[in-house]
Structure 1
Amino acid sequence: MWDPATLPSDDNVNPYAFSVELNGQWFLQKGKMIAYYGQIDFHGIGHGPLDALVAANFHSPLHAADWVVAQGRGKMLLADRAYDINSYDLDDGNLTIRSGNLLAYQPGLALKQSIIPGFLTLIGTGKFVAASNGAVHFVEPPVRVDPQALVGWADCPSPCHHYDHAYLRGVLGGIRQLTGLGGASGEEHQFEFTGAGQVLLQSTEVLMGERETGGVPLSAGPGVPGAGR
């Protein structure tokens, strides 16, 4: 049983939940906070009293509707459908991550829209919290990785596509060409990283399930605004 005094500060409660010690502001993706203690307000991106903070730390208009700023004092519990949750620290660095995997980050980090569709880039110094389908492993370039296992990359150039043409020209490639069955996999298509830095991989090729960020489930019970719509 947890209470405000016994919950950890800026650390994992268990592998699937993270406790943020809030004393100021954090940027938070909608749908990732499961409970909180204290006096905390949530402000939308693009309007409200925190425009100066948002202007300095949020630069992704395509994702503005998916994020809020949590402001106040207390403890927030973050989780995402029982996926693994971890925190990471950047020190004057940059890290690009799948947009659905990023749960929250501290001001001091600036969020920007990556040129790679479906990814966001954090630049600066601070802590962020992210989810993954299984444990995360760090590997050094040069390396080729399965696109479904890729969580993100830090302090290295963006990847390029690599296709195994010998594989595609083989028997399986011919069957795909004739029947349309099958599809791209990590065995024939990879992301190739070169240069210095680190690549973050989750320990499965199954991506985290997509869902409408902040949406109210159709199965929500009576008394939940928007339920059944």
Structure 2
Amino acid sequence: MTTFSINDFVSQTKQDDAENEFFELETPRILEVNLTDRVWAKAGSMISYIGQIKFEREGILEHGVGRMFKKAFSGEGTSLMKAEGSGRLYLADQGKKITIFDLNNESITVNGNDLLAFEPGIEWDIKLMKKVAGMLSGGLFNITLQGTGLVAVTSHYEPLSLLVSPGEPIITDPHATVAWSGHLQPEFRTDINLKTFFGRGSGESIQMEFSGEGFVIVQPFEEVYSEGRNS
């Protein structure tokens, strides 16, 4: 059994006061944002902050009428908050591991529940998965981010990147799929027998099929959603 004095514990776990990058991993599961202007983050992800920072929930017309209607269909999972001001902001989401991507005029599509934060200069849009709206409850949306800047994505445990090659499609479980190349367009397929075979009850097993060339990021955990919220 490992024990600590209070001073030793505080010394080993205290925040790093050296401000360097805009996004920094304070721990593998806590993101530090060295804020000087603005950042978009998942609503409810703030765990602490130092400085003069104001929080505002995303306005219904903040990103245009088109996205407003998409948000009405995709539930609370896409809700964002805007943090403005100067200071250090700490973000986390249910103890999930955080990965920071530095986009260089690139695009990535992220499961709506797995997007933690992104720089305000990044362009984004919600992509609804209408084909499976009646098959999966919640979690039916993805967010495509494009441009140059930082994007923080969360996953349960360590993520795995699978390479998609022409003629060799990758099949994934939607509940374990975190993100993929922005240009890939997944197709949805069902397998009536697979779910029963693994003893998970009757009904159809929904799968995502990625074809072309790119990557898919999966996690060793099936995240189940209900009405746009993590259940």
TM-score in terms of structure 1 length: 0.72
What secondary structure sits across from 1:60 in the alignment?
helix
Letter in 1 for 2:186: P
Partner of 2:5: none
Contact 1:155 1:198 in 2 (8 A): no
Return closer, same or farther for 1:144/1:35 CA change in 2, 3 Å cut-off.
Answer: same
2:215 is matched with which residue? 198
The one-letter amino acid of 2:223's match is: L
- Could you tell me which runs of 5 or more consecutive residues in structure 2 were left unpaired when the two chains were aligned: 1-9, 130-139
Count of paired positions: 194
Provide closer, same or farther for how the CA distance between residues 124 and 151 of structure 1 changes in structure 2, counting only shifts above 3 A: same
Amino acid at match of 2:185: S
Which residue of 1 is the match for residue 106 of structure 2? Answer: 93
SS at match of 2:175: helix
1:156 positional shift:
3.1
Is the 1:133–1:208 contact (alpha carbons within 8 Å) kept by the matching residues of 2?
A: no
Identity %: 26
Instruction: Find the aligned partners of 1:22 and 1:83 in 2 and give their Cα distance.
Output: 22
Change (3 A) 1:22 1:152: same
Partner of 1:108, secondary structure, is coil
CA distance in 2, matches of 1:17, 1:211: 26
Change in 2 beyond 3 A, CA 1:59/1:18: farther
- Secondary structure at 2:128 match in 1: coil
Deviations 1:136-191 (A, max 9, x none): 111111311122211121133211123457x56xxx58xx9xxx943444xxx421
**Paired residue for 1:110?**
123
Deviation for aligned residue 1:36:
0.6
Distance 1:193 1:3, change over 3 A: closer
Give 1:201 shift: 0.8
CA 1:156–1:19 in structure 2 vs 1: closer, same or farther (change >3 Å)? same
Residue 121 in structure 1 maps to residue 152 in structure 2 = no
Residue in structure 2 matched with residue 137 of structure 1 by the alignment: 160
What SS does the corresponding residue of 2:59 show, helix, strand or coil? coil
Query: Structure 1's 13 and 184: CA in aligned 2 closer, same or farther, altered over 3 A?
Result: farther
1:6: Cα distance to partner?
4.5
What's the secondary structure of 1:161's corresponding residue? Answer: strand
Name the amino acid aligned to 1:161: F
Relative to the length of structure 2, the TM-score reads 0.71
User: Could you say if the C-alpha distance between residues 59 and 32 of structure 1 is closer, same or farther in structure 2, counting changes exceeding 3 Å?
Assistant: farther
1:156 touches 1:195 (CA, 8 Å); kept in 2?
no
Instruction: Give me the whole-angstrom Cα distance separating, in 1, the residues matched to 2:33 and 2:66.
Output: 23
* Structure 1 spans left out of the alignment, 5+ residues: 214-229
For residue 36 of structure 2, give the secondary structure of its aligned residue in structure 1: strand
